[in-house]
Amino acid sequence: MTSSRNQVSTMLKQGFISDYFLSPPQPQLDPTRPTTPTRSTTPSPTLFEMMAEEQTRDTRPSTELHTRIGNERVEDRVARVLSGAPFRNPGEWGLGFGDVKLTCTARDGFSVVMDVHREVLVGRSKFFREKLGRRSGAHHSVEICECDDVEVYLETLVLMYCDDLKKKLVGQSVGKILGLLKVCDALKFDDGISSCLEYLEAVPWSEEEEERVISNLNELHLHNTNEVLQRLPLEPSTSSKIDNIFSKLVTGVVHAKDEKARKEMKTLISRLLKEDNQSGSDHSYSHSKLDVSKETLYTICHKCLTSLILCLSEATSHDENRGIMSEIGRVADNLEWVVDIMIEKQISEQFVQLWSEQNELAILHSKVPVMYRHKISRITAQLCIAIGRGNILVPKETRCGLLSTWLEALYDDFGWMKRDSRTVHRRLIEEGLSQIILTLPLSNQEAFLMSWFSRFLEKGDDCPNIQRAFEIWWRRAFVRQPVTEPQLQITVCDYPT
Q: Does 61 or 265 have the greater pLDDT score?
A: 265
No. of H helices and E strands in the chain? 22, 4
Residue 128 burial (10 A CB sphere; 0-12, 13-18, 19+): buried
Question: Between β-strands 100-106 and 111-116, what pairing exists: parallel, antiparallel or unpaired?
Answer: antiparallel
CA–CA separation, 168 and 158 (whole Å)? 10
Mean pLDDT estimate for the chain? 81
Q: What percent of the chain has pLDDT over 70?
A: 75
CA–CA separation, 23 and 20 (whole Å)? 5
Minimum mean pLDDT among 11-25, 37-51, 116-130, 417-431: which range?
11-25
Q: Does 466 or 106 have the greater pLDDT score?
A: 466
pLDDT for the residue 421: 62
Q: How do residues 182-207 score in pLDDT, each as one tens digit?
A: 999 999 999 999 999 999 999 998 88
Taking 80 as the threshold, does the pLDDT of residue 383 lie above it?
A: yes
CA–CA separation, 60 and 487 (whole Å)? 79
Residue (of 213, 215, 189, 188) closest to 200 by Cα position: 213
Task: Kindly report the number of other CB atoms within 10 A of residue 147's CB atom.
Answer: 20
Strand order in the sheet with 100-106: 34-35, 111-116, 100-106, 140-147
If you average pLDDT over residues 364-378, what whole number do you get? Answer: 94
Q: How do residues 470-480 score in pLDDT, each as one tens digit?
A: 999 999 999 87
| HSE, side-chain direction, 13 A CA sphere, residue 449 | 24
pLDDT for the residue 7: 42
Question: In Å, what is the CA distance from 495 to each residue of 346, 489, 490?
Answer: 57, 19, 16
pLDDT for the residue 26: 38
Question: Between β-strands 100-106 and 34-35, what pairing exists: parallel, antiparallel or unpaired?
Answer: unpaired
Q: Does 441 or 317 have the greater pLDDT score?
A: 441
pLDDT for the residue 489: 65
Minimum mean pLDDT among 28-32, 166-170, 183-187: which range?
28-32
Taking 90 as the threshold, does the pLDDT of residue 53 lie above it?
A: no
DSSP 477: I
Question: Between β-strands 34-35 and 111-116, what pairing exists: parallel, antiparallel or unpaired?
Answer: antiparallel
116 three-class SS: strand
Residue 121 burial (10 A CB sphere; 0-12, 13-18, 19+): buried
Do the beta carbons of residue 437 and residue 403 sit within 8 Å?
Answer: yes
Do the beta carbons of residue 309 and residue 361 sit within 8 Å?
Answer: yes
Instruction: Note the Cα 302 to chain centre separation in Å.
Output: 33
Do the beta carbons of residue 27 and residue 40 sit within 8 Å?
Answer: no
pLDDT for the residue 286: 44
For helices 349-356 and 294-317, the axis angle rounded to 10 degrees is 20
Q: Does 361 or 284 have the greater pLDDT score?
A: 361
User: Residue 241 corresponds to which amino acid?
Assistant: K
Most confident of 15-29, 75-89, 94-108, 299-313: 299-313
Run of H or E residues at 34: strand 34-35
pLDDT for the residue 224: 80
